[in-house]
Amino acid sequence: MTTLQTPLLDRHHAADATIVDFAGWDMPLRYSSDVAEHHAVRERAGLFDLSHMGEVMVTGPDAATALDYALVGHMSQMPLGAAKYTMMCAPDGGVIDDVVVYRRDWEHFMVVANASNREVVVQELRARIHAAGLDAAVADETAAIALIAVQGPASCEIVSDMCELGAEDPPALKYYKATHVVLHGGIHAFVARTGYTGEDGFELFVPVDVAGEVWDLALERGESRGIQLCGLAARDSLRLEAGMPLYGNELSPDVTPFEAGLGRIVNFGRADGPARGDFVGRTALEERKAAGSETTLVGLRGEGRRAARAGYDVVSEDGAVVGTVTSGVPSPTLGYPVAMAYVATEVSEPGTALAADVRGRQEPMTVVALPLYRRGA
């Protein structure tokens, strides 16, 4: 089957990147060393191609109401230029996808979906809008938009230096806010102070025909600040340390936001706040919240040297299987193995001693609070 190609693929090849098929896209896994790329983001800056992510526009007079109904967040309450992390759930409460929504105008929202779920998100949005009889349109603009991320402590200086004099100042942009800027060369970009690494960072949405120019500009302006090309492997270890879930690992149709520790993003409305109408999955999610969850997503700190990987059993001190690892790596930042796992709620308290079955050998693990790493801590 033919894979989709990022507009930056030629630059990845020129940089000797290892290219892999990721969610149907040819994407860079690494350029040099996973650990070196990881440390670059934690200490200086990393440059990522995220053009595989889906950009879905929802527009029209009922756009806000449509997203209120389709997603678990209260999107109509978003101010202009805001971003919000939320989820699309099935009627039974299971997670279809986790997305970030940007309000670009009063009747114009951009929903950024995971590459593997883009098509189902588009289909579900259209079906839910139609079922509710709302006046809103859904357009998949993924093929027209490239997404480039600059992440790390030096990211603000780099992105500021990429902007034309007189453009809106990126340092003034608050976390989870977005704005339009003009980059050097007269390139218009929609820039958000968002990311998936646990560090300060910016994501730049630009037309595909200027993606190469923006990539080169980021490398040029970041060279003196130690910017490094980073692939999917570093992105995965960074997000794991930061306790950020990955669809297909921590999130799936088999879990709800409550098991994942993300019940706070489900907005049922409050008596002292804006009224919230019905949304897909509301009844099931209300029931799950009231009943409590049998399993809970936790962080694990390895007490040995071997890392637990996705799919490995988590066992109690008496050897009983009490959960499953969803993601695990030797942490470059912390210096010991870390993991996320779903475990029985009764053994989910931080400090609980557990073990992971690593190829037939029980490796000691301790339950720790998420995130495993916090910037500035």
CB neighbours of 123 closer than 8 A, spacing ≥ 6?
none
Query: pLDDT tens for residues 231-278?
Result: 999 999 999 999 999 999 999 999 999 999 999 999 999 877 777 899
- pTM of the complete model: 0.96
Which pLDDT does position 65 carry in this prediction? Answer: 97
CB neighbours of 244 closer than 8 A, spacing ≥ 6?
196, 198, 371
Rg of the chain, C-alpha, whole Å: 21
Distance CA 150, CA 138 (A): 28
User: With contact defined as beta carbons under 8 Å apart, do 255 and 93 qualify?
Assistant: no
Residue 136 has pLDDT above 80, yes or no: yes
Which pLDDT does position 165 carry in this prediction? Answer: 64
Which pLDDT does position 274 carry in this prediction? Answer: 76
Which pLDDT does position 142 carry in this prediction? Answer: 98
Distance CA 85, CA 99 (A): 6
Sheet with 201-207: strands ordered across: 178-183, 187-192, 201-207, 145-151, 45-49, 227-229
Query: pLDDT tens for residues 33-84?
Result: 999 999 999 999 999 999 999 999 999 999 999 999 999 999 999 999 999 9
User: With contact defined as beta carbons under 8 Å apart, do 151 and 199 qualify?
Assistant: yes
Q: What DSSP element (H or E) covers 43?
A: helix 34-43
User: Please, which pLDDT band fits residue 167 given cuts at 50, 70 and 90?
Assistant: low
CB neighbours of 219 closer than 8 A, spacing ≥ 6?
47, 227, 229
Residue 1 has pLDDT above 80, yes or no: no
Which pLDDT does position 275 carry in this prediction? Answer: 77
Tell me the three state secondary structure of residue 76.
Answer: helix
Which pLDDT does position 166 carry in this prediction? Answer: 57
For the chain, count helices (H), then strands (E): 8, 20
Q: Which segment of 85-99, 128-142, 153-167, 177-191 scores lowest on mean pLDDT?
A: 153-167
Mean pLDDT, the chain, rounded, equals: 96
Which pLDDT does position 237 carry in this prediction? Answer: 98
User: With contact defined as beta carbons under 8 Å apart, do 154 and 222 qualify?
Assistant: yes
Average pLDDT value for residue range 188-215: 97
Residue 134 has pLDDT above 80, yes or no: yes
Quick one: which of 357, 341, 350, 346 has its CA closest to 304?
A: 357
- Domains, the chain: 4-50+144-241 (3.30.1360.120), 294-377 (2.40.30.110)
Quick one: which of 233, 225, 167, 165 has its CA closest to 200?
A: 225
Query: pLDDT tens for residues 267-320?
Result: 999 877 777 899 999 999 999 999 999 999 999 999 999 999 999 999 998 999
